[in-house]
Chains A and B, each alone.
Chain A
Amino acid sequence: MTTLHPILMAGLIVGAFTLVSVSVVVVTHQATESRIEDNQRLSLLDKLHALVPANWVDNDLTADIIQVPGPAALGGREMKVYRGRQKGQPVALILAVVAPDGYAGPIQLLVAVKTDGTLAGVRVLSHQETPGLGDRIEEQKSGWVLGLMEKSLDHPAIERWKVKRDGGDFDQFTGATVTPRAVVKAVKNTLLFVKEQQASLFLAPSPPPPQEKHP
């Protein structure tokens, strides 16, 4: 040991510990990998089936995905579109859209639109809105977001797609108008986008492999 240069010796010790530690991590990773992937897929599937119930469709919603450039009104980012079909016939689209103008940054939404243009439902995936005020857009916090079900561009009429304070049909929250305004606007824009693109959204082939880890 005394013949080795001290720096070399220190390096060897660090190297040896790194090797052992990384091996432990690799083994754990391999032991848990498939379980974690299942968890992620099931968790996503749960969220999707909360909007488009499992008995409406016979395809795997987590596999029938395309990625499309979003319209400028929705921030213009790439967005994921999950497609539900029954016996090959289109049933509903679920779009992972972003409401770009939340009170505290973008709000991630899942918007489900049936083929007749009515909403199957909307859920908030993530947001940084004020706890106790803006966070009532979450399904667990209030029923507000459920009020969007069955709405469409004709019901209410498109010029009524606003919160009440702006002369529209949707409730705002006491102390938080910006948050529901952003959500209503994003949902309206999603409906407009789907109205325009519905046929091509259903036709586009899913890219192989369809495994995606996050919505």
Chain B
Amino acid sequence: MTEPSLRRVAADGLWLNNQVLVALLGLCPTLAITTSAINGLSMGLATLLVLAGSNTVISLIRHWVRPEIRITVFIIIIAAFVTTVELVVEAWFYELHKVLGIFIPLIVVNCQILGRAEAFASKHSPLRALTDGFFTGLGTTLILTLLGAIRELAGQGTLFAQAQMMFGDFGRHLTLTLGSDFQGALVAVLPPGALFALAALVVLSRYIEAWRKAPAVFVSPSLPSSNRAMS
């Protein structure tokens, strides 16, 4: 199999095949944990660490694992990485661990991780696999943070509240507040808000892609042709 260029791998992971926006994988943490920007960011980073690690190791061992037991071995490796990340978060970011709770162990069954292991890492060189893991994780982190930021801003009127859980006391300066009289739209923080915000992001990303492919369509006012571009 020919190796894709690193640039291509990075672009796929970050945007073209973004695991949240395009593949819509890993929706459990995406919808449940993104009630604030910091939650989304930390969950994204935990996923990134696991993805980069598991992708690299799985690529390194890809010639030794027989096809019939590959899924078993992949899951064992992923579980080891997730447990390690969880212990490290609990030891050094205890407040964060209390917020993320069950969602860190659940990274084991996030389809993104096994999906990248099976579809990419097991077929490509370690460097490509690491790049893919890193940029796929980064793509997920960006979207989870963005989703968290939208929901936090709409729901509570703050941005990066409780950043001290991640950055220590320095984080307190990162918090932005819209003003103390902002009541917030509660629905944004509740589960339906997650679906609305994610849907909005998916639509936006599809628009941007359609525009990148055929900018002219968006300049022309005729509705039918822009409909065609969307489909």
Kindly identify, within residues 183 to 201 of chain B, every residue whose CB is under 8 Å from any CB belonging to chain A.
Answer: 186, 189-190
Q: Which among B5-13, B89-97, B129-137, B173-181 touches the partner chain?
A: B89-97
- Asked whether A24 lies within 8 Å of B80 as measured between CB atoms, the reply is yes
Chain A residues, CB < 8 A from B76: 14, 17-18, 21
B69 interfacial by beta-carbon distance below 8 Å: yes
With A24-B80, A131-B190 as contacts: A10 and B91 at CB distance below 8 Å: no
- Write 17 A-B pairs (CB below 8 A) sorted by A numbering: A10-B69, A13-B66, A17-B61, A17-B76, A22-B80, A24-B84, A28-B84, A28-B87, A28-B88, A32-B90, A35-B91, A35-B92, A36-B90, A36-B91, A39-B90, A43-B94, A43-B98
Q: Is the CB of A32 within 8 A of B73?
A: no
Query: Which of A17, A22, A39, A132 has the most chain B CB atoms inside 10 A of its CB?
Result: A17
Residues of chain B within 8 A (CB-CB) of A36 are 87, 90-91, 94
Give the tally of cross-chain contacts (CB within 8 A).
57
Closest residue of B by beta carbon distance from A9? B66
B217 at the interface (CB under 8 A from A): no
Please tell me if B32 contacts chain A, counting CB pairs below 8 Å. no
Q: Which of B65, B66, B87 has the most CB of A within 10 A?
A: B87
Given A14-B73, A131-B190, A132-B186, A39 contacting B91 (CB threshold 8 A): yes
Q: Classify the interface of chain B: helix, strand, loop or mixed.
A: helix
Closest 6 A/B residue pairs (Cβ) = A21-B80, A32-B91, A39-B94, A35-B91, A132-B186, A32-B87
User: Interface size for chain B: under 10, 10 to 19, 20 to 34, or 35 or more residues?
Assistant: 20 to 34
A36-B69 Cα distance, complex, nearest whole Å? 35
B68 at interface, CB cutoff 8 A: yes
Closest to A23 in B: B80
Q: Taking the complex as formed, is B83 at the interface, i.e. its CB lies under 8 A from any CB of chain A?
A: yes
What residues on B are CB-neighbors of A13 within 8 Å? 64-66, 69, 73
Q: Write out, one digit per residue, whether chain A residues 10-50 have a CB within 8 A of any chain B CB (1) or not (0).
A: 10011001100110110011001001100110010000000
Decide yes or no whether B79 CB sits under 8 A from chain A: yes
Smallest distance from the beta carbon of B169 to chain A beta carbons, Å?
16
Instruction: Flag if B87 contacts A17 (CB, 8 Å).
Output: no
- Residues in chain B near residue A18, CB distance under 8 A: 76
Apart from A10-B66, A21-B77, 18 more pairs, CB < 8 Å: A6-B66, A9-B66, A13-B64, A14-B76, A17-B61, A17-B76, A24-B80, A25-B84, A29-B87, A32-B91, A35-B91, A36-B90, A36-B94, A39-B90, A40-B94, A43-B98, A131-B186, A132-B189
